[in-house]
Structure 1
Amino acid sequence: MKLAELAQKLSCRLEGPPELDISGVAGMEHAEPGQLTFLANRKYIALLKSTRASAILLEEGVAIERDRTQPPIAALRSANPYLAFAHALELFYDAPRYASGIHATAIIAGAAKIGEGAHIGPYCYIDEEVEIGRNAVLHSFVTIYRGAKIGDDFVAHAHSVVREHCRIGNRVILQNGAVIGGDGFGFAKRRDGSWYKMAQSGPAVLEDDVEVQSNACVDRATVGETRIGRGAKIDDLVLVGHASSVGENTLLCGQVGLAGSTKIGNNSILAGQVGTAGHLTVGDGTVITAQSGVPSDVPGNAFYSGYPAVENRQWLKMMAALNQLPELQKRVRELESQVERLKR
């Protein structure tokens, strides 16, 4: 594809030869001549000097400096280079397509309703009273329990599960091993100390454009529902506890754990391994950094870190003070020795 055509399709301002041929995309370190790369994080700006790519997506105002040993590099200027790169990937990556049809080994209940254009792979199981919209793709060993309702353009990768009576919107993607609507962790203690399992009657609800990645679990509720808002993205190995709610366009990164009845607002980000106690609220637009522990409510538009999670600036000061503790301890001991000598 000519660079001028690529710039037009990506709505970018071109700096460089319009007739330059671009054959693919790659990261800055691995790009070869003829490929397009991107710079979205200034942390990697040093690679701009040495990348072998022929063209780069980057913001307005970013100066291009090259090693003397490297040829000039063309620029596609964009207000959002990372998003432009995402669109560029789609231009060069030929994603697999799946013909409609039902594999002979799939088991579909007589009362199930499946929309036109569906691809149902080997050994799938679809129970009674299930409804699935148009153009669904179910890869091998997908299981849909009784009474689940699923919208159009559903994609379920191998070994993903949708439990009974759960509701899933349009354009939802379940990666391998995702479990939607598994039983919440609900038990009542008996007098003898044993645990009585409570029925988990409330479904999990995934709104439109949600993606749940590999081996993540969205548990069903004891009563009510567990809800994932429109456009939310849930990373690998995340647990959303029973009766929790996750707001629209929120990101839960790898190994995040939400205890039961946690409420996460819209447009928030919980980085890897963040854990929340149950029955708390995190406001809209909040970012909580990796491995933080959240024991209580967090306001909207906040930036929190640490355990117990506090405002990021306060946490940085605490960590700076913590690093000084050995020296402070040494000074205190010296002062104590001086005081003892003065007493004599």
Structure 2
Amino acid sequence: MKLSEIVKILRMDFASLGIEDAEITAINSLQNASGSELSYCDSEKNEKFIADSKACAVLVKKGVEVPKNIIKVECVNPHLAFAILSKYFAKPLIREPRPSAIAKSAQIAKGVYIGSNTQIGERVVICAGAYIGDDVVIGDDCVIHPGVVIYNDTIIGARCHILANAVIGSDGFGYAHRSDGTHVKIYHNGNVVLEDEVEIGANTTIDRAVFGSTIISSCTKIDNLVQIGHNCELGENCLIVSQVGLAGSTILGRNVVLGGQAGSGGHVRVGDFVQVAARGGISKDLPAGKNFAGHPIMELKEWFKLQAKIARFFKDK
């Protein structure tokens, strides 16, 4: 799509911008955009990524500095502009039919849907009612239980177990907001990657990334009824207990344990070997090797002290 067409979709006048036209093939992040892609900067904290970006053009607010080799497209709300354009660059849900590669040793039950250009490895078992989308890769010795939905572009390693009615690779919960209070959907063009020996519990959902991948690293085990937001990255050997909710771009180190109904705000980092007690609310980065509880979150030993003080206060009443 021509940049001039993109500007027209955003209801801006291309001539008044005083910029050259270019062919845009996709939208991508500042860090990952190539020389034919459009990116955007929606906050001051992300401005530092513009200088090293390889994007062809970038959507920015007025006054933001952009290198001369990148076409500068000034707009009032770059995040909203990106959301509007994401629909035009979204990958199709149903793609051109191409043959899939299914190992002869795989066991595929009746009623399974397998999409275009999908690869299914040796000794894979897929139970009735599962949906496997287009351009999916499923490694050797995986077991896919009834009713599982695996969306397009998902990559699954070897020896993974995905339990009943889990949903892997649906769009994340992302919206931009107009000044009148209405919301604009952000279409997600990334994917989900499950590494080897991952287990996903029943009715758990793992959202695809906006760009890049949502990653569940090897040997991580996720319980039932867990929500993993877009662009999250879970390290090796994590244990995620039932009803945990991780907001977008949460990053967990290795061997992190999250108790039942614990949750995180977006864009937080949790260090290796951290344990968070049930219902803990992760609102900030957590250093490695410590135990935490509560909301606002604090070290577990401090949380126990606080509970003791509260108990004494009410006892004295």
* TM-score by shorter chain over 0.5: yes
Deviation at 1:137, TM superposition (A): 0.4
State the match for 1:173 in structure 2: 161
Alignment of 1:196-235 (within 5 A): 196-235=184-223
Structure 2 gaps of 5+ residues are 1-96
State the match for 1:268 in structure 2: 256
- CA deviation profile, 1:68-123 (whole Å, cap 9, x unmatched): xxxxxxxxxxxxxxxxxxxxxxxxxxxxxxxxxxxxxxxxx761111121111121
Matched, 1:150 2:138: yes
State the match for 2:295 in structure 1: 307
Which of the residues 111, 114, 122 maps onto 2:102?
A: 114
Name the CA distance, whole Å, in 1 between partners of 2:315 and 2:276. 31
Alignment of 1:1-344 (within 5 A): 111-327=99-315, 330=317
Name the CA distance, whole Å, in 1 between partners of 2:315 and 2:126. 61
Name the CA distance, whole Å, in 2 between partners of 1:148 and 1:136. 14
Deviation at 1:191, TM superposition (A): 2.4
Deviation at 1:154, TM superposition (A): 1.4
The aligned amino acid for 2:249 is S
Name the CA distance, whole Å, in 1 between partners of 2:315 and 2:109. 64
SS of the aligned residue for 2:307 comes to: helix
The aligned amino acid for 2:279 is Q
The aligned amino acid for 2:216 is I
- CA deviation profile, 1:197-223 (whole Å, cap 9, x unmatched): 111111010000000010001110111
Structure 1 gaps of 5+ residues are 1-108, 331-344
Name the CA distance, whole Å, in 1 between partners of 2:217 and 2:289. 18
Deviation at 1:327, TM superposition (A): 4.7
Number of aligned residue pairs: give it: 221
Deviation at 1:225, TM superposition (A): 1.0
Name the CA distance, whole Å, in 1 between partners of 2:281 and 2:240. 14
Q: Give the structure with higher Rg (CA).
A: 1
- CA deviation profile, 1:163-192 (whole Å, cap 9, x unmatched): 000111001110000111111001111222
The aligned amino acid for 1:320 is A
Runs of 4+ in 1 over 3 A off after TM superposition: none
State the match for 2:7 in structure 1: none
Name the CA distance, whole Å, in 2 between partners of 1:154 and 1:114. 13
SS of the aligned residue for 2:170 comes to: coil
SS of the aligned residue for 1:317 comes to: helix
Identity %: 39
Name the CA distance, whole Å, in 1 between partners of 2:184 and 2:294. 35
SS of the aligned residue for 1:181 comes to: strand
The aligned amino acid for 1:215 is N
Name the CA distance, whole Å, in 2 between partners of 1:190 and 1:149. 38
SS of the aligned residue for 2:302 comes to: helix
Deviation at 1:196, TM superposition (A): 0.8
Name the CA distance, whole Å, in 2 between partners of 1:283 and 1:277. 15
SS of the aligned residue for 1:205 comes to: strand
The two structures have a TM-score, normalised by structure 2, of 0.68
